[in-house]
Structure 1
């Protein structure tokens, strides 16, 4: 039996005076870093920037501990995270290792499945 997909969401705060440079560094991200993220098992990865530099990240993975360990051991990720660390307020350590995940309190698909409504919803959209 396969493990369910883990949805991981986290927040960090980008220093306001560095917002433009932070955005520039992500437009685009190094190709070798993109490859490492994918190789770690993270997928559907997005970053969203809000007011005051509030950065919210989201990704899915089958094993977040394994993904974290892979990136912690990656020379490419180590270089990338060393360059990204100065952008964040109140962060001790590498951004990819030190960000605290948020607690998921609602997921539409999970609740639809639990209520038995997922099949009916899927059928009504086709």
Structure 2
């Protein structure tokens, strides 16, 4: 079972407001929409590290702790878990701020794995793009 924090960790990478168009039939924000926001945030984070294109190759286990209401501000925080030869593992936490109560609550967290790719879509080393010249 995953443990959840009492406050966000990592870098605030993406923030948006939930809209009625993103709801499931019960009026809560669709989990797939939340996962898409997480993927965008993780890709931004991995792109900054790789200095180039990345593609999502895996998503680790996720647990949704609570439904997300319409009108909540959703914030995705990212942190690097591991940098491999061609891949980057990113932790993504999702927090919401309820616009009525102003309470900040964690919704979910997950691990996303991205591979650095070149212009032809083939994997490439991450380190060749992160090393600085003397």
TM-score scaled by structure 1?
0.25
- The structure whose residues are more often strand, as a share, is 2
TM-score scaled by structure 2?
0.24
Bigger radius of gyration among the two: 1
- The structure whose residues are more often helix, as a share, is 1
